[in-house]
Amino acid sequence: MASPLFLSPEQAFSIREAFGTPVFVYDQKLLEAAARDALAFPNAFGLTVRFAMKALPTAAILQVFYRAGLHLDGSSGFEAERAMLAGIAPEHIQITAQELPPNLGELVGRGCLFNACSLRQLDVYGTMFPGAEVSLRINPGLGSGHSNRTNVGGPSSSFGIWHAYLEDARQLAQQHGVRITGMHTHIGSGADPEVWLHCAALALSAAAKLPEVTRLSLGGGFKPARMEDEIGADLAVIGARLQPAFEEFAREHRRELHLELEPGALLTANAGALLCSVTDLVDTGAGGYQFIKTDTGMTDILRPPLYGAQHPITLFPATPRDNNSIPYLVAGHCCESSDLLSPEPGNPEGLKPRALPRAEIGDILVIGGAGAYCSAMATKNYNSFPESPEVLLDTDGHPHLIRKRQTMAQMVQNEMLLP
Ligand SMILES: Cc1ncc(COP(=O)(O)O)c(C=O)c1O
């Protein structure tokens, strides 16, 4: 299913009136429905769903998911701290971090769970917490990202302990008296149930070599369909395909594995939109292009320039317009030629004009599929544009400000003038 456009033109104009643009808007009903779907993932012996908070770490969003029964995956010690500030119980947070948090002792002391992503991380953890339980992130040797920039498994990825070093990890844990009770893989498997099954089979065969493992996380990477022609992950179908593999494992190894999942994008991408205004219209003459210029760009949404990612773009005219459409390139507001919202799919260097109604200055553009890795992953403050506000539409459709627009004073608050 493609990105639902959850905002009517009337809502979009009244949100602009109240909060200005650019502004992120999230829909609580869609967030809660996504959480319910994830918690219904078919499973053999129990399920924990952790929201990968890197996708959208704003406190109110974490609260919505926490209240809906989700746990959290934090990618750094800072994310774990941020989640606790939002009121999330530390026992519900698992840290899977590329960089070992310098305050790991304190975080684990407060109750956060730790997923060791390298032999060194395991060694440090074991030295700090001899006799404790730990989870290991394994690189099972398979990747399914669409490019080396998004691959999170296989030989080109540094994430996790390479599968051939499992025995080293076991011995290291033994030296510290640490019990490996959890195992984790995250390869970004996408939407295809067969890829998920293959990934689960690799994870299960690694889990078979770690006899104390009772918790197996398959990570996140469930692909949302942002564009109409994209196929998104269907959790019910994928879960039904995986469940027998866990049952078979239990029969063979006399071990019932509790399943964990860590979706990020699937839970939030299509529950969020970025509203911006048309600020200028330029063209590059005969044989050139027509450009819509906006008051947003890579300072709010970096995915198109970074990956050639595609987001649906809808134009809401501020005044009545004829039905003719024009092929437009949609440009961001940064002095940076790559700041383009309409690149070629998968090719940030390429240009792909979008057919949109004839635009006028003052129209609204709605960038869909913007609930994941947009607000969270933008080039904040580049060209000194302030961080944009975020608004949550509650279950009755009422807008609530959940993050204010950054002020100039906040932008420079840590800078110090020369005497
Ligand atoms: C360890 C881990 N878990 C979960 C996720 C969430 O992935 P997605 O948002 O694609 O579901 C990521 C994303 O990078 C990750 O690194």
In what helix (H) or strand (E) does residue 168 lie, and over which residues does it extend? Answer: helix 166-176
d(CA 103, CA 397): 41
Cβ of residue 221 lying under 6 Å from some atom of ligand 1: yes
Task: Please give the torsion angle defined by the CA atoms of residues 358, 361, 364 and 368, in that order, rounded to the nearest 10 degrees.
Answer: 70
Give the Cα separation of 303 and 311 in Å (integer). Answer: 9
Q: Do 195 and 149 form a contact (C-beta atoms < 8 A)?
A: no
Can you list the pairs that 321-325 forms with residues at least 24 positions away whose Cβ atoms lie under 8 Å? 321/357, 321/358, 321/360, 322/357, 322/358, 323/357, 324/357, 324/358, 325/355, 325/356, 325/357, 325/358
Predicted pLDDT at 152: 62
Q: Give the distance between the most distant pair of CA atoms in the chain.
A: 74
- Ramachandran angles phi, psi of 16, nearest 5°: -60, -40
The predicted pLDDT at position 369 comes to: 98
What is the dihedral angle through the alpha carbons of 310, 321, 334, 368, rounded to the nearest 10 degrees? -30
- Residue 133, helix vs strand vs coil: strand
Whole-number pLDDT of residue 323: 85
The answer to pTM > 0.75 is yes
Query: Ligand 1 centroid to 179 CA: how many Å?
Result: 25
Q: Is 113 in the pocket of ligand 1 (CB under 6 A)?
A: no
Residues 6+ apart with CB under 8 A from 71: 48, 49, 50, 51, 92, 93, 94
User: Separation of 197 CA from ligand 1 center, angstroms?
Assistant: 18
Pocket test for ligand 1, best of 48, 49, 73 (most atoms within 8 A of CB): 73
Write down all domains in the chain, each with its CATH number in brackets: 28-268 (3.20.20.10), 269-404 (2.40.37.10)
Q: Whose CA is nearest to atom 5 of ligand 1?
A: 220
Is any ligand 1 atom within 6 A of the Cβ of residue 96? yes
Q: What are phi and psi of 403, to 5 degrees?
A: -150, 130
Choose one of 121, 186, 218, 235 to mutate for the ligand 1 pocket test, by most ligand atoms within 8 angstroms of C-beta.
186
Alpha helices by DSSP H, 59-165: 59-67, 77-85, 104-110, 119-128
* SS3 assignment, position 410: helix
Q: If we measure between CA atoms, which residue out of 259, 265, 270 comes closest to residue 221?
A: 265
Q: What is the pLDDT of residue 1?
A: 44
Å from CA of 297 to ligand 1 middle: 24
Q: 273 by DSSP, 3-state: which? A: strand
Q: Find the 239 Cα to ligand 1 centroid distance in Å.
A: 18
Residue 264 CA: nearest ligand 1 atom is 9
Residues 6+ positions from 325 with CB-CB distance below 8 Å: 355, 356, 357, 358
Per-residue pLDDT of the chain in tens (419 residues, 90 and over written 9): 445 589 999 999 999 999 999 999 999 999 999 999 999 999 999 999 999 999 999 999 999 999 999 999 999 999 999 999 999 999 999 999 999 999 999 999 999 999 999 999 999 999 999 999 999 999 988 755 544 445 567 787 788 999 999 999 999 999 999 999 999 998 877 899 999 999 999 999 999 999 999 999 999 999 999 999 999 999 999 999 999 999 999 999 999 999 999 999 999 999 999 999 999 999 999 999 999 999 999 999 999 999 999 999 999 999 999 989 999 999 999 999 999 999 999 999 999 999 999 999 999 999 999 999 999 999 999 999 999 999 999 999 999 999 999 999 999 999 999 99
CB-ligand 1 contact for 79 (6 Å cutoff) = no
